[in-house]
């Protein structure tokens, strides 16, 4: 076991430092690693969506009596849940028990008169609360607790990691600190629901669904909010009504392709958000991208939002990742750490470019866990064989079927520690034959690369596509170098384990520090590449330890 607090003294108990009580209201799907989600993805989505429809967002005065505020709102119906948070002002998220309460509140709400400016009337669920008379400072103002919506600073993270008891504890700590909280998850579904209200002005009965890391259980506090405008639900209503020999169709405008239809829909919704969407700022229509989207900031929640349409496969990918994340408690801890490691070394970026994406990294971790012996995660093909008729799902001709009932999947018999998995992950990808092999989670084994992109990761559903086509050779090389260096650091630590503490960051914390290999390779450009030397060192350490164990056994 690691000595406690090798680097810094721990303020208070570890539990207090982690703010564990803050997580206590977490529901099963956002809870800590020991409460892995077991609810079906579709159930979670349905419940959350319905909850969001009964919820309102209120910009409050900075000084407010929580008790009076709740009493005032209770006139419209009972309140299930509420919380406050700060983001350029004080906001309250209030969930009523009944949807009708929202309408009741809207009925007593007025459109503001703004003096010289004019307001565009829009009856949303995002309100602004004003006080007719300021509060009596001493008696009425209560100190309400604001829920934090951002991830810990690097300094706090280092403190927490250095105070952990083991590498396993470090990985779980990182997960606990960075995962979306219950409140942040609510705010994400609420934001989608508010955007749906705006889009419904054009497309009544449309649905705006979150996807990507907001819902796949790999989201980190502060990650973007991917949402997609689902117009398929409208189609479903109409097919149900067809009866007898008659078939009624809407008169519509036709356009030459699905892509053009998507662009036109997103264009008007983008305009709508820009002109009428309360709190939607910086709206950019990026319609010529491979996957057209509207990007904007939702000021009140602080989320950077990407709205797409016609994107069912991406939602299905989110469901698949959600399943993988829930199958074994080590998956999320490992993915969070690898994502964090990649971000710390600028392997990933918030700007699109030739870098690896978080989505690709997650698929690489899943693949690695499928390759363990015995496997920690099943292959996608195996999940397909467990599917029943209800699970069948074909999207745009692609077979996206896999089992969705967790009870039908046997837990893994593999008991490897996170520490070992982390080290092996770096070794595995530090030595992977990227030049000839493709990563394939459908079959759970390497395949020959069908094309020459430096990194080839097969898209799990659109199997002819490569999800990492954008990655350049130099970015891939940087990934390999850093993976080798990280494996080396962890090996070195194993060797030093019994030596006295030298007050250095250790384990995961050491891996998040600036790279030695990069600075070495800059300083000694003419020598063998740093990564080659690290690879050789690693190999010598390994053969040393085999020799040692042979010697001992002998
Ligand atoms: P972060 O936003 O970085 O936290 O992760 P994310 O998983 O949300 O990634 P991102 O916002 O880039 O993409 C959102 C979702 O779109 C992903 O979760 C995938 O489901 C899907 N997606 C992203 N990139 C690709 C890709 O290259 N191919 C395919 N098929 N889907 C992708
Ligand atoms: Mg995202």
341 falls in which pLDDT band (50, 70, 90)? Answer: very high
DSSP string, 190-205: HHHHHHHHHHTTTSTT
pLDDT at 511 over 90: yes
3-state helix, strand, coil in the chain (%, to 5): 45, 15, 45
Residue nearest to atom 20 of ligand 1 (CA): 314
- The bound ligand whose nearest atom lies closest to the alpha carbon of 225 is 2
Average pLDDT over the chain, rounded to an integer? 85
Q: What is the pLDDT of residue 431?
A: 96
Range 98-121 burial, b when 16+ CB lie within 10 A, else e: eeebbeebeeeeeeeeeeeeeeee
Looking at residue 90, what is its pLDDT? 93
Give the residue with greater pLDDT, 219 vs 4: 219
Cβ neighbours of residue 433 under 8 Å, at least 6 residues apart? Answer: 446
Average pLDDT over residues 131-142: 65
Separation of CA 211 and ligand 1 centre (Å): 9
CA of 223 to the centre of ligand 2 (A): 6
More confident residue, 517 or 332: 332
321-331: burial string, b at 16+ Cβ within 10 Å, e else:
bbbbbbbbbbb
| Whole-number pLDDT of residue 24 | 37
Cβ atoms of residues 373 and 444 within 8 Å: no
Report the residue among 226, 339, 359, 400 best suited for mutation to probe ligand 1: largest number of ligand atoms under 8 A from its CB. 359
Residues contacting ligand 1 via CB (< 6 Å): 211-213, 216, 219, 223-224, 226, 314, 317-318, 357-359, 459, 467
- Protein residue whose Cα sits closest to atom 22 of ligand 1: 314
**Pocket mutation for ligand 1, best pick of 184, 212, 286 (most atoms within 8 Å of C-beta):** 212
Q: pLDDT for 168-201, tens place per residue? A: 999 999 999 999 999 999 999 999 999 999 999 8
Distance 316 CA to ligand 1 centre (A): 11
CA distance linking residue 24 with residue 16, whole number of Å:
12
Which ipTM was obtained for this model? Answer: 0.96
Model pLDDT for residues 532-547, shown as the tens digit of each residue: 666 666 666 666 555 5
Percentage of the chain exceeding pLDDT 70: 81
| Ion ligand 2 nearby residues (CB, 5 A) | 212-213, 224, 226
What is the average pLDDT across 262-283? 95
pLDDT band at 380 (very low <50, low <70, confident <90, very high): very high
Residue 306 CA, closest ligand 1 atom number: 11
Confidence tier at 554 by pLDDT (50, 70, 90): very low
pLDDT on residue 249 = 84
How high is the pLDDT of residue 234?
53
For residue range 62-105, list pLDDT tens digits in order.
Answer: 888 899 999 999 999 999 999 999 988 999 999 999 999 999 99
Q: How far is the CA of 50 from the centre of ligand 2 (A)?
A: 22
């Amino acid at each position: 076991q690691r000595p406690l607090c090798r680097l810094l003294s721990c303020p208070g108990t570890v539990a207090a430092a982690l703010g564990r009580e803050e997580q206590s209201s977490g529901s099963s799907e956002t809870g800590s690693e020991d409460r892995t989600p077991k609810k079906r993805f579709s159930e979670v989505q349905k419940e959350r969506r319905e909850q969001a429809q009964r919820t309102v967002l209120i910009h409050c005065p900075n000084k407010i009596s929580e008790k009076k505020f709740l009493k005032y709102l209770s006139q419209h119906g009972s309140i299930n849940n509420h919380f406050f948070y700060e983001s350029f002002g004080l906001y309250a998220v209030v969930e009523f028990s009944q949807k009708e309460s929202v309408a009741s509140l809207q009925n007593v709400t007025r459109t503001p008169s703004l003096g010289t400016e004019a307001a565009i009337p829009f009856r949303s669920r995002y309100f602004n609360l004003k006080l007719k008379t300021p509060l009596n400072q001493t008696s009425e103002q209560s100190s309400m607790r604001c829920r934090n919506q951002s991830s810990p600073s690097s300094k706090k993270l280092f403190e927490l990691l250095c105070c952990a008891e083991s590498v396993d504890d470090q990985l779980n700590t990182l997960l606990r600190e960075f995962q979306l909280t219950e409140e942040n998850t609510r705010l994400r579904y609420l934001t989608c629901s508010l955007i749906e209200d705006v889009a419904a002005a054009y497309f009544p009965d449309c649905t705006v669904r979150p996807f990507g890391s907001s819902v796949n259980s790999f989201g980190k506090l502060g990650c973007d909010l991917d949402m997609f405008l689902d117009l398929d639900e409208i189609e479903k209503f109409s097919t149900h009504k067809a009866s007898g020999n008659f078939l009624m169709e809407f008169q519509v405008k036709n356009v030459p392709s699905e892509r053009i239809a998507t662009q036109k829909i997103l264009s008007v919704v983008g305009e709508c958000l820009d002109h009428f969407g309360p709190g939607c700022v910086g709206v950019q229509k990026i319609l010529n991208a491979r996957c057209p989207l509207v990007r904007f900031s939702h000021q009140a929640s602080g989320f950077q939002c990407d709205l797409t349409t016609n994107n069912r496969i991406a939602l299905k990918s989110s469901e698949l990742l959600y399943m993988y994340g829930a199958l074994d408690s080590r998956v999320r801890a490992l993915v969070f750490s690898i994502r964090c490691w990649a971000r710390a070394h600028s392997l990933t970026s918030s700007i699109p470019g030739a870098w690896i994406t978080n989505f690709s990294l997650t698929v690489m971790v899943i693949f690695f866990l499928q390759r363990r012996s015995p496997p920690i995660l099943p292959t996608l093909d195996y999940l397909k064989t467990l599917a029943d008729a209800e699970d069948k799902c074909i999207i745009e001709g692609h077979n996206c079927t896999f089992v969705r009932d967790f009870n039908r999947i046997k837990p893994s018999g593999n008991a490897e520690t996170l520490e070992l998995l982390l080290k092996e992950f770096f070794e595995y990808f530090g030595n992977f034959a990227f030049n000839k092999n493709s990563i394939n989670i459908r079959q759970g084994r390497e395949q020959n690369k069908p094309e020459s992109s430096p990194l080839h990761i097969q898209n799990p559903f659109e199997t002819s596509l490569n999800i990492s086509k954008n990655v350049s050779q130099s970015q891939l090389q940087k990934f390999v170098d850093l993976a080798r260096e990280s494996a080396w650091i962890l090996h070195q630590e194993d060797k030093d384990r019994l030596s006295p503490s030298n007050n250095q960051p250790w384990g995961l914390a050491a891996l998040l520090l600036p790279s030695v290999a990069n600075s070495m390779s800059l300083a000694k450009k003419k020598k063998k590449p740093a990564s080659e030397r690290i690879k050789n060192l690693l190999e010598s350490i390994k053969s040393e330890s085999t020799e040692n164990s042979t010697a001992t056994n002998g």
